Structure 1
């Protein structure tokens, strides 16, 4: 009679373990995306600070693929500001997603511990 219980326990344990590993990978992916967005945000901020230091009569070009398009200084500044805002919003979303996934990993770990402790108690 112990064999069916062991098989059920083993099946539940492997399912929880797979779920936990999947969530941990998603947390790492969210971390990588957050790091990438932070770099993008810093790049936009530095570029914006350099552009604002230029005189108004300076010709400013935007790189598009393999060509450059003449843009006004104001348009490029607006684009860089928008990039920063968009990156900030995405970072907030990813941090919320990451915290949810971390809680989920913690719950899966707790469930695994409970299963092992209940098995030892029997």
Structure 2
């Protein structure tokens, strides 16, 4: 009876570990994407700073270009940069939370395996497909 309960607990812990690992990878991907967005906005702002104020600048919208003032384009890029920073901060805190969850799951798994060495032997003898 206890053996079956331990097996069920192991499967639940394994499921939580897989789920948490997937979420961490997803957050990391989102962070990389936001970093790239932020970098593009920063580089665009740096290039716009070198352009005189009375120069015609164009904003790309899909396959179309729209004439904009330099100030408008600068404001848009600054907003993208700030939004990117805020998103990265939020994603970082989410990642830290998920990493704490992962550590908790690993601790639970270790405790389970220490309680039931027979379960550990069964797991080690399983064939991984």
| Aligned mates of 1:120, 1:57 — CA distance in 2 | 76
Helix, strand or coil: the match of 1:84?
helix
Instruction: Give matches, 1:15-94, under 5 Å.
Output: 15-94=12-91
Find the residue that maps to 1:11 and give its secondary structure. helix
Q: Structure 1: give runs of 5+ residues left out of the alignment.
A: none
Cα distance in 2 for partners of 1:90, 1:73 equals 26
Q: Secondary structure at the match of 1:62?
A: strand
**Structure 1 vs Structure 2 CA RMSD:** 1.1
Offset, 1:120: 3.0
Matched, 1:119 2:116: yes
Which aligned runs of 4 or more in structure 1 are off by greater than 6 angstroms? none
SS of the residue 1:101 aligns to: helix
Correspondence for 1:105: 102
Scaled by the length of structure 1, what TM-score is found?
A: 0.93
Match of 1:9 among 6, 9, 15: 6
Within 2, Cα distance between the matches of 1:42 and 1:65?
Answer: 20
Question: Which stretches in structure 2 are left out of the alignment for 5+ residues?
Answer: 119-129
Cα distance in structure 2, aligned partners of 1:117 and 1:82:
52
What is the deviation of 1:39? 0.9
Distance 1:76 1:9 in 2: 60
